[in-house]
C-alpha cells in the first residue's frame, strides 16, 4: 500500500485537509478499545478526532504492514519506551523506490503522486489534493449524511463553506435530460 493511496483515502474518509493529513504523527492514529481513531490538527488550531471508517482502517493497516509492520514502523519507541510523538505517519520514499524513509511526505510529493496515479488510471479531469475533501463530503451527503454533521466533521465554522464542497448538484441525471423536448 503506497503512502499516496492511504493519505488520499484518509483525506476522503475524514474530510481532512492535505496539511492536516500529512501532518499526522504516528500517535495521531490510535486505538480506542475496539475502534481506531485519527486526530487531525486542522487550521485555526482546531483538533478533530474522528473514528476510523472500516475501509480506511484496512488501508492504514496495509500501509503499516507494507512499511514493516506495527512492531517496527511506524510505531517507533523513544528512550522512555513510549511511542515518539513527532514521527510522521505518512512518509516519503526515496524516488519511486517504494521504500519509505523517515521524512514527512510534503504536499507537493502527494500532489505529484496523485497526478501520476490519476494519469495511470485514465482520469483526465483536474484533480489535486483538495479533491479528496470534496469527494468525501459529497459522498457522505449522497449516502444520507447531514450537512450539519459534515460541517462539524470538516471543522467548518459556517455551513456555507461546507456547501461549497457539496457536488451533488453538479451531476446531470437522465431524468433531467428526459425533460428536454426535441421537435422535429
The answer to whether the CB of 17 falls within 8 A of the CB of 42 is yes
Model confidence pTM above 0.95: no
pLDDT number for residue 118: 83
Q: What is the pLDDT of residue 71?
A: 59
| Model confidence at 181: pLDDT above 60 | yes
| Range with the poorest average pLDDT among 45-54, 150-159, 165-174 | 165-174
Pairing assessment for the beta strands 35-41 and 47-51 based on DSSP bridges: antiparallel
In a domain, 157, yes or no: no
User: Residue 162: left if φ>0, alpha if ψ -120 to 50, beta else—which one?
Assistant: alpha
- Residue 54, Cβ density class (10 Å: 0-12 exposed, 13-18 middle, ≥19 buried): exposed
Q: Which band of pLDDT confidence, cut at 50, 70 and 90, is reported for residue 83?
A: low
- The domain tally of the chain equals 1
Please check whether residue 155 lies inside any domain of the structure: no
Read off the CATH number of the domain in which 118 is found: 1.10.443.10
- 184 found inside a domain: no
Tell me whether residue 24 is in a domain: yes
* DSSP 8-state secondary structure symbol assigned to residue 79: T
Q: pLDDT confidence of 41, banded at 50, 70, 90?
A: very high
Domain span at residue 77 reads 3-123
Higher-confidence residue of 91 and 183: namely 91
Domain-located, residue 111: yes
Average pLDDT in the chain: 82
CA distances from 80 to 4, 37, 59, 76 (A): 32, 24, 29, 11
Q: How many residues does the chain have?
A: 184
Task: Give domain status of residue 136, yes or no.
Answer: no
27 part of a folded domain: yes
pLDDT (0 to 100) of residue 144: 94
**DSSP letters spanning 27-43:** GGEEEETTEEEEEEE-G
pLDDT in tens, 109-153: 888 888 888 888 888 777 877 788 888 999 999 999 999 999 999
pLDDT score at 149: 94
Does the pLDDT of residue 84 top 70, yes or no?
no
Do the domain assignments include residue 148? no
Amino acid at each position: 500500500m503506497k503512502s499516496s493511496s492511504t493519505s488520499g483515502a484518509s483525506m476522503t474518509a475524514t474530510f481532512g485537509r492535505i496539511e492536516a493529513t500529512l501532518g499526522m504523527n504516528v500517535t495521531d492514529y490510535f486505538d480506542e478499545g475496539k475502534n481506531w481513531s485519527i486526530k487531525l490538527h486542522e487550521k485555526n488550531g482546531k483538533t478533530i478526532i474522528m473514528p476510523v471508517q472500516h475501509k480506511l482502517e484496512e488501508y492504514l493497516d496495509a500501509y503499516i504492514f507494507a512499511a514493516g509492520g506495527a512492531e517496527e514502523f511506524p510505531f517507533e519507541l523513544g528512550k522512555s519506551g513510549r511511542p515518539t510523538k513527532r514521527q510522521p505517519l505518512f512518509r516519503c520514499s526515496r524516488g519511486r523506490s517504494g521504500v519509505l524513509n523517515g521524512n514527512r511526505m510534503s504536499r507537493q510529493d502527494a500532489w505529484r503522486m496523485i497526478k501520476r496515479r490519476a494519469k495511470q488510471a485514465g482520469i483526465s479531469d483536474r484533480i489535486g489534493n483538495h479533491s479528496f475533501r470534496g469527494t468525501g463530503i459529497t459522498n457522505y451527503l449522497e449516502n444520507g449524511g447531514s450537512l450539519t454533521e459534515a460541517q462539524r466533521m470538516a471543522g467548518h465554522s459556517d455551513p456555507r463553506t461546507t456547501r461549497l464542497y457539496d457536488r451533488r448538484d453538479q451531476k446531470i441525471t437522465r431524468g433531467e435530460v428526459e425533460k428536454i423536448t426535441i421537435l422535429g
